[in-house]
Amino acid sequence: MSFVLVFGLPVVVALYSNSNKRITENSTNMSKTVLITGTSTGFGKLITKTLAKEGHSVIATMRDVSGKNVAAAKELSALHNVEVVELDVTSDASVEKAIQNVIKKHGQIDVLVNNAGVVGFGLFEGTSVEQMKQVFEVNLFGIVRTYQAVLPSMRAQRSGLIINISSGLGIFATPFIVPYIMTKFGVEALTEGVRHEVKQYGIETVSILPGPFPTEITTKAGFGPDKSEVLAAYGPDVQRSFEQFGTTMVGKMEEYKVDSQLVADGVLALINMKAGTRPYQTSINPIAQEIEQPYTNSKLAIKTAWMEKMGWGAY
């Protein structure tokens, strides 16, 4: 668990995504080559270990493998079925180089798991655009970069699976984390829109929506309120509301004893499912008891009807 100082108060916080039920039917256990971003900590490291243990060939990518992440790189490199590769999702050149080198060595990438992410908490008005750009670079444009780097090879092989570790905050918005939520709504739009463009090539693009889990993402905050005059103008009432927001989140995680392994298991289940049977969005949120899942399921039915009425049903 990590502490982040916002509004001058130490508040324990964790990534709020959305949660996935275990999927076991229609599964296949054939080994696949899987590239995962952001594997130095949290979900990424757990996903790497889980998939490798199940026999998948895992390319675990992270930044600064010879520097601050050297310990994590050594730990994962020592595992059977795991290869660690340097990749910075904020760099076009880094993403392109890493993915092309992996394809050259392994022949193809069967699955891309976009996990790299940063978070930040605070008052929207008190946060500058420059601060917000940092979280967009990782959470949204980082995924744009990996999509555009891997799709040509997936189209050529006429198969592929892209799993985006999104968030329950990609379908519902709350206060005090608005810029982060904006990126996750963007991820959901990307996932949903591109799905129609690539399905004719046998490529599936889906998302996992985790709820709050105690991961290390809070140590990689991508933005924070930096306009002190705005924070002062809002006064102590907003500060107390923010404190309650963080306290409630932490209390719920402790009450439900949430386990981040659920997200790793959800990724494994999706990979092992037969092509064409995977749900587009999967909720993994023990706290909300997966209440997001019927919402996303109903949205899909409405979207399908809307596409047909608009004359776009063939896409």
- Catalytic residue (one of 16, 180, 280, 295): 180
Question: Does the annotation count 180 as an active-site position?
Answer: yes
Please state the φ and ψ torsions of residue 60, each to the nearest 5 degrees.
-90, 110
Catalytic (active-site) positions:
180
